[in-house]
Structure 1
Amino acid sequence: MKLKKLMTILLTTVITTAVLTGCGQQENAKDAQKKPLKVATNATFVPFEFKGDGDSDYKGYEVDMIRAVGRVMGRDIEFNNIPFSGIIPIIQSGDMDVAASGMTITKERAGKVLFAAPFYESKLVILTNKNSGIKSVEDLKNHSVAVQMGTTAADYAQNLGLKTKQFDHNAEALMELKIGGSDAVIADKPVADYYVATEGKGEDVVIPIPDSKKEYLAFAMNAKNKDLQKEINAAIAKLKETGEFQQIYKKWFNVDPGDLPKTAEETLQ
């Protein structure tokens, strides 16, 4: 009788412990979901992510978009401003959850990180002074070209064998043009257009690069974090469904976004 009673007590203890452990694990999972998304950015990529003069807050199209994504996911956003060349390594290390830094989806990068659904379609262009004598890509061969390190613009310039000056921050490349240290900048079209509209003062022009392929910008995350990729893709789809995605896009570019691929994988085919 005593043995039976002892067995009952032991069984009850085991069941209680298992239930409490299960509840604890569920609570831990919920807590993890509520933690802020740690976002790595390089806040010099106007108009995607930047800081205004004397302004400590982050702003820009991509900043607004990741904040909207976080809101749909029920998570706050915690920005960390680092050089662009360090973005992928810090995502790979797991120290940051998401990269929101105007990153173009490429096959090489897709071998290192996962990409969410793209939020912007772009092309590379040349930005130069209207009196520089530069009218096409061919004219760049005898000129100094500023680019941001680690970008598709830097890759393009190097593949052409151009004389380049590379900078950690996009704003530094633009400043190099402004002070006359370089004759041109190769950059994404929205960056060049925004610069001409706000800083160019009628002196700078944007020149198309005919052989520039379509580029798609997207958030990136650790290659092992497929759950986060699915969550962010679902949040982007929800924002499109409610119209908020389109509102954010039009706020910054004054046009509708058009049809974008639903996954990063579509852009690599």
Structure 2
Amino acid sequence: MFENMNPIFLALLGGLFTWGLTAAGAAMVFIFKEIKPKILNMMLGFASGIMIAASFWSLLLPAMELSEGKKYEWAPIIIGFALGGVFLLLADKLLPHVHHLGDEPKGQHKSSSLKRSIMLVFAITLHNIPEGLSYGVAFGTVGSSEKATLASAAILAFGIGIQNFPEGAAVSIPLRREGVTRLKSFMYGQASALVEPIAAIFGAWLASSIKPLLPYTLAFAAGAMIFVVIEELIPESQTDTHLYGHIATIGAMAGFLLMTFMDIAIG
């Protein structure tokens, strides 16, 4: 049934799914006003593990298979992965945003709260682009190799959706703690993932339209995702480790194992 569907349409469905889970996570602000730091650290670690596993199993592995037998079979992996990191690095430098909830000094005037909230959402939105691009490319490459299956693409979208749930909560609940209204906190949280369906559609179109670029686009998405994990998720998950021990690391291991299990057992 789904195998005969347009990959761009499938990517759109995946994007709506991941956005929906982000919105569901952001909706937790209507139930909780605060989120315990150790829970936040564990969720961020869990998201890191999922993204690392997804980058290898669902992106780099198919890219390597597509490059086998070519003269420079290493080139698409190395070049694509590097370009993914460079893209995020440049975007990080050129687009104004805050990196973490604790970046600003205490005692900040309330008039700057809205501006800071917008910059925070801008940061999360920027880092959601490679997530949408990754499963969009995966849907666009279905059938191009043994590893590029519809099941593996769906699992990638599902895995990213799982990690988007705590990400939505990690945006909306801290904003509420800082004095932003519940509704506005929810709107900021869900808005951070609106870019994912767009990026997914673009990734599916690119992968299905320009076949020679398939391994490059897969590796590009992987490089961008790993950049996000190392630049943002892991450092943020390691706050207050002297109080909460290895909770973030345990979360990362659990996320990696879950994504690996789904990809091997189901994909």
Q: Which has the larger radius of gyration?
A: 1
Q: TM-score, normalised by structure 2?
A: 0.25
Higher share in helix: 2
Higher share in strand: 1
Question: Which structure would you say has the larger RCO, counting Cα contacts within 8 Å and 6 or more residues apart?
Answer: 2
